[in-house]
Structure 1
Amino acid sequence: MSTPQTGQDVMPTGPHQAIAVDRYRPTDRDALYDVCLRTGDSGEDATGLYADGDLLGHVYLGAYLELEPDLARVLRREDGTPLGYCVATASTADFERRCEESWWPALRRRYAAPAEDDASPDAPLLRAIHAPSRTTAPWLDEFPAHLHVDLLPEAQGGGRGRRVLEAVLDAVAAAGAPGIHLGVGGRNVRAIGFYEHLGFRTLEHHPWGLTMGMRLPRR
């Protein structure tokens, strides 16, 4: 059911609990970084894998919260605790340009680039900060938007992932994007099936997994 007073889409989880799809609030940032870390190993908990637990959030989440807060949606308990999120941008090329201008420079001052022979789990994330990849795929004109979604186990099931993702898809479509893409690890079979059920189709295979895409608006 919906609650027009708050704009939240509330989903019962038990006799005394509900989880709502809500807009991002700046006070959510630290909790969402924690969600990012706790789902950062192909959907499993990555806590303890990294010397700096904030690195995953810096690379895969923070810029969206800073640069595209209006497209971010949060799954939260009735007490306000975030349990998951979906973040997006309507234009990947523009987002990558803005990250280079206003997101990566501060992180480069904070974190030194790793040594070439550094094989620690932190090293690929540090390299992504100092030399982020650019998206140049042939399908980008058709699917210029992209998103990331991460849910803690408590928020999975019951249609909650679908609802938060659909809220973001509708917001991105309203922003004018004709299509959207996402990346998913090859080991995350459950997530691949989830996206296929929603209507995403494989655009490209990679050594690490798949890029999947969907045309917008949803039908």
Structure 2
Amino acid sequence: MTAAHAVRTFTDADRAPLREVFRRAGEGAATLPFGGHEESIWLIPYMDGEPQSLFVATVDGEIVGYLTGCVDSARMPSEEERIYRLVAEQRLYLRPATLRFFARSLSDTVRAGRGRSASTFADPAWPAHLHIRLVPRVRGHGLGSQLMNRWLDRLRELDSPGCHLQTEAENTGALTFFERHGFLRHGDPVLIPGMRGSAGERLHQQTMVWRCR
């Protein structure tokens, strides 16, 4: 029997399953020193602040992925603000791993030079942004495209001028996926301060943009 794939809008009952999907979808990715609270940066603010822009992917009723969107990024605290709030609230500055991360971030920023390291993107031509996650076993089966289409349709309905996203430049599969959905690379890749890959290599951020009109 063929599995039933579906994409629907978020409901409050999805909170716990989505937090589990966040963890499972991130397995094998670069490790961050935030004590397992990373969903407080990249998931919970969207469930709380813009649930109407959150779409859930299911297979036979099981939640296996999601897309969080924000129509106007200026209305949400920046990623940097969310990180520092989390560090303060959870007292992560007392953790040696967190201190090492921020020391490495400072060193990377100094070495890269101003304008050559990752930062918050703000441009009124592309005010919306998104994050998308799928658990590994369902990737490549069209659910990611269904999520993207729902989000882009929402932006068209709202007459948004455009959308941006930021992804790892080393993740060529992600770059190809977003390009298939009309996103273009915007500027050159820049260093992500403090971040390292599985082999300890430095990682870079690629901004991509999509114009609605």
Instruction: Give TM class, smaller chain.
Output: 0.7 to 0.9
Q: 1:145 corresponds to which residue?
A: 128
Inter-partner Cα distance in structure 2 for 1:192 and 1:153 = 17
Residue in 2 aligned with 1:159? 142
Amino acid in the other structure paired with 2:171: N
Q: Paired residue for 1:206?
A: 190
Q: CA deviation at 1:122?
A: 9.7
For residue 23 of structure 1, report the CA deviation from its aligned partner. 0.9
1:66 aligns with 2:48: yes
Does 1:45 find its partner at 2:45?
A: no
What is the aligned residue count? 185
Q: What is the identity, as a one-letter code, of the residue corresponding to 2:177?
A: F
The one-letter code matched in structure 2 to 1:200 is F
The Cα RMSD (Å) is: 3.2
Contact 2:166 2:205 (C-alpha < 8 Å) held by counterparts: yes
Note the residue ranges of structure 2 that are not aligned, 5 or more in a row. Answer: 106-117, 192-203
> Structure 1, residues 48-88: CA drift from partner, whole Å, max 9, x if none?
976732x221111110111110011010122x321000010
Alignment partner of 2:11 out of 18, 25, 47: 25
In the alignment, which residue of structure 2 is the partner of 1:91? 72
CA contact (8 A) 2:126 2:161 kept: yes
Q: How does 1:159-178 map to 2 (within 5 A)?
A: 159-178=142-161
Deviation at 1:174, TM superposition (A): 2.0
Which is bigger in relative contact order (C-alpha 8 A, separation at least 6)?
2
What displacement does 1:177 show? 1.7
Q: TM-score, normalised by structure 2?
A: 0.73
Regions of 4+ moved over 4 Å: 46-51, 103-109, 120-124
Alignment equivalent of 1:76, drawn from 39, 46, 58: 58
Q: Distance in 1 between matches of 2:162 and 2:32?
A: 34
Q: TM-score, normalised by structure 1?
A: 0.71
The Cα shift of 1:136 comes to 5.1
Identity, % of aligned positions: 28
1:174-210, Cα deviation, whole Å (9 max, x unpaired):
2332100011112211111111111110113221220
Rounded Cα–Cα distance in structure 1 between residues aligned with 2:148 and 2:6: 13
Displacement after TM superposition at 1:16 (Å): 4.6
Distance 2:39 2:87 in 1: 15
SS at match of 1:96: coil
Letter in structure 2 aligned against 1:74: V
8 Å contact 1:38–1:45 — kept in the other structure?
no
Q: Secondary structure at the match of 1:38?
A: helix
| Secondary structure in 2 matching 1:149 | strand
Matched AA of 2:181 = L
- Given that residues 37 and 47 in structure 1 are in contact (C-alpha distance below 8 angstroms), is that contact kept between their aligned partners in structure 2? no
Distance in 2 (CA, whole Å) between partners of 1:49 and 1:72 is 24
Instruction: Give the match's secondary structure for 2:163.
Output: strand
CA distance in 2 between partners of 1:203 and 1:164 (Å): 22
